[in-house]
């Protein structure tokens, strides 16, 4: 039996987040009978974790970890405590060649010590560094500096670096070439099942009526409301465009200073096309909203393969993506690309508005083909199981 310890997600059952969804899909879709997953879960992640130290879910063993309330350092303490639990457990059950797969690069300065313990067990340490966490504007400068140092430590000690985007893999090889890192590309996945809802469902009718939105008559943005996702550029440029359609923004803006700042800098409240509609936790409804958007605008630029991008490529007919390597690596020529240069996105929106039915149809087909070939969960799970079995 191959024992795989997964550390770094908040845990499963998944409530939110890319890593959490990944672990949920990996365990729920498991095909190999020869792998046993052990997944760390924050005590506050779900009621199951609050009530149990260890429990089974999706056939995996979930172990709950108490995290002290120490601000941004919480995530670091969580990963260390989870890794300590995992190493002890592997020792206790005498796991043969256990794999320790850490999601996100948060504990680099401490990894040297733990890697020695892992190797003493005959185990291997894998890291998935995610995107450029050290570039995220939400972190103060000292924290960003720590993330960069941490990433270096995580890569330096890794037996294998798993990258969910080929551009991340290139970056790891270039930035940390001195360590001669062993890297591999395994993408993130997305669901390709169409929404179970239709136009006449009460949920759909109520939502569209309440928000005063019409199918196929809006551009859509879905994502965390943070500066590095380029909300200011997207809103400002949409306001400059001649589009008669709405801009529907699905995000959480309650008590958000960034929202107030944007209001001051763009005066978007004076443009009736701009509609902040809150969050949508109902997945079939969110899928329906994506499927019935005229186009999707994507401004994420510091992550690797962004889950929201994969969802939009699999469900929205046209995608307008900020022009960074991560996005081009995924969407290739099945998108319109825009830069942050003044007027560039506004021009792209006006061009999109004039797409013919044939252009929209061909673009949608190409995007869906890319997802079907490279980004289904079934393919991702098979690739991981192969990798874990060969280790």
Q: What is the pLDDT of residue 254?
A: 73
Most distant CA pair in the chain, distance: 66
What is the distance between the alpha carbons of residues 295 and 290, in angstroms, rounded to a whole number?
8
Strands (E), 129-259: 160-163, 183-185, 218-222, 246-250
Q: What is the pLDDT of residue 16?
A: 72
What is the distance between the alpha carbons of residues 327 and 321, in angstroms, rounded to a whole number?
7
Give Cα separations from 158 to 100, 126, 161, 174, 385 (angstroms).
Answer: 10, 6, 6, 16, 19
Q: Per-10-residue mean pLDDT for the chain, 391 residues long?
A: 97 86 96 97 93 96 93 90 98 97 94 97 94 65 85 96 93 95 95 94 97 97 88 97 98 84 93 95 95 97 83 97 93 96 98 97 97 96 94 64
Q: What is the pLDDT of residue 58?
A: 96
Q: Cβ of 209: how many Cβ atoms within 10 Å?
A: 10
Beta pairing partners, 219: 247, 295
**Helices 283-291, 202-211: crossing angle, 10 deg rounding:** 60
Beta pairing partners, 160: 126
Quick one: tokens of 16?
């939110």
Secondary structure of 76-124 as H, E, C letters:
HHHHHHHHHHHHHHHHHCCCCCCEEEEECCCCHHHHHHHHHHHHHCCCE
Give SS3 for 242: coil
Q: What single-letter DSSP state applies at residue 15? A: -
Beta pairing partners, 6: 39, 101
Beta pairing partners, 168: none
What is the distance between the alpha carbons of residues 244 and 217, in angstroms, rounded to a whole number?
8
pTM of the full structure: 0.89
Tokens 């949508």 belong to: 280
Q: Cβ of 126: how many Cβ atoms within 10 Å?
A: 21
**Taking a C-beta distance cutoff of 8 angstroms, is the pair 36, 3 a contact?**
yes
Q: What is the pLDDT of residue 391?
A: 64
Q: What is the pLDDT of residue 315?
A: 97
What is the distance between the alpha carbons of residues 223 and 139, in angstroms, rounded to a whole number?
18
What is the distance between the alpha carbons of residues 100 and 59, in angstroms, rounded to a whole number?
18
What is the distance between the alpha carbons of residues 67 and 69, in angstroms, rounded to a whole number?
6
**Taking a C-beta distance cutoff of 8 angstroms, is the pair 340, 365 a contact?**
no
């Amino acid at each position: 039996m191959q024992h795989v310890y997964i550390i770094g997600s908040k845990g499963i059952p998944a409530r939110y987040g890319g890593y959490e969804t990944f672990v949920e899909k990996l365990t729920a879709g498991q095909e190999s009978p020869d792998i046993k997953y052990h997944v760390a879960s924050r005590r506050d992640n779900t009621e199951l974790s609050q009530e149990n130290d260890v429990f089974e879910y999706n056939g995996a063993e979930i172990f709950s970890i108490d995290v002290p309330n120490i601000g941004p350092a919480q995530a670091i303490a969580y990963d260390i405590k989870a890794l300590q639990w995992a190493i002890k457990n592997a020792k206790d059950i005498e796991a043969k060649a256990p794999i320790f797969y850490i999601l996100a690069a948060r504990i680099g300065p401490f990894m040297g010590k733990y890697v020695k313990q892992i190797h003493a067990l005959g185990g291997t340490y894998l890291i998935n560094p995610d995107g450029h966490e050290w570039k995220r504007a939400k972190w103060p400068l000292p924290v960003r500096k720590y993330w960069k140092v941490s990433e270096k430590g995580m890569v330096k000690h890794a037996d294998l670096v798993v990258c969910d985007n080929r551009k991340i893999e290139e970056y790891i090889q270039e930035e940390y070439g001195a360590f001669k890192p062993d890297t591999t590309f395994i993408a993130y996945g997305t669901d390709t099942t169409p929404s179970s809802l239709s136009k006449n469902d009460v949920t759909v009718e109520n939502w569209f009526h309440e928000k005063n939105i019409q199918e196929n008559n809006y551009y859509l943005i879905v994502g965390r409301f943070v500066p590095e996702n380029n909300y200011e550029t997207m809103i400002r440029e949409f306001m400059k465009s001649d589009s008669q359609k709405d801009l529907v923004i699905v995000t959480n803006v309650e008590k958000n200073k960034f929202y107030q700042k944007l209001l001051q800098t763009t005066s978007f409240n004076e443009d009736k096309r701009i509609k902040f509609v809150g969050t949508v936790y109902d997945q079939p409804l969110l899928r329906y909203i994506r499927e019935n958007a005229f186009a999707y605008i994507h401004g994420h630029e510091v992550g690797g393969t962004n889950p929201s991008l994969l969802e939009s490529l699999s469900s929205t007919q046209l995608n307008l993506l900020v022009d960074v390597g991560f996005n081009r690596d995924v969407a290739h020529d099945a998108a319109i690309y825009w830069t942050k240069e003044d007027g560039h996105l506004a021009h792209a929106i006006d061009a999109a508005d004039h797409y013919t039915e044939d252009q929209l149809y061909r673009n949608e087909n190409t995007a869906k083909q890319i997802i079907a070939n490279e980004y289904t969960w079934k393919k991702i799970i098979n690739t991981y199981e192969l990798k874990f079995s060969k280790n």
